[in-house]
Amino acid sequence: MNIEKYRKHLAPLKLGKDKEEKVIRFIHAIMEEFVSVAFGKHPVQQAVDEKQRKSLQKQGSVLDSKDHKTAQHIEKDAATRWDR
Using CB atoms within 10 Å of the CB of residue 51, give its burial: 0 to 12 exposed, 13 to 18 middle, 19+ buried: exposed
Query: Any idea what DSSP says for residue 40?
Result: T
The model carries a pTM of 0.49
Q: What is the pLDDT of residues 29-83, one digit of tens each?
A: 999 888 877 776 667 777 777 777 666 555 555 555 555 555 555 566 655 655 5
- Higher per-residue confidence, 11 vs 80: 11
